[in-house]
Structure 1
């Protein structure tokens, strides 16, 4: 094992994922939340992911993220 290592050629953000989402607090009707949780159990996807997808369908001409488009 070396006594010193040279990290000068490494990027500061190496290993960190690019931030693409923001944590917020949102109030939803109990019925809406229950419906998404039920859909979540049926589909195997998280209910927050399903809510995000539903909101995306209401946005005008949303471009898919490059990783999802492939």
Structure 2
């Protein structure tokens, strides 16, 4: 597996995260092929990297309500 340097990545909080400190997911749009995702409460913790097309499908499913409980 190839490692990616994330030291200068620009993170943005997901619009699905609430503003009072819970469920804080951050993503980076700095890469074309992968989307790094992290928990903003643990900025030095682990990062998950998803393929860009898979991430786009996931976000579309969220927007469409396909993942509602």
TM-score (norm 1): 0.24
Q: Which has the larger radius of gyration?
A: 1
Q: When you count helix as a share of all residues, which structure comes out higher?
A: 1
TM-score (norm 2): 0.24
Q: When you count strand as a share of all residues, which structure comes out higher?
A: 2
* Larger relative contact order, structure 1 or 2 (CA cutoff 8 Å, min sep 6): 2
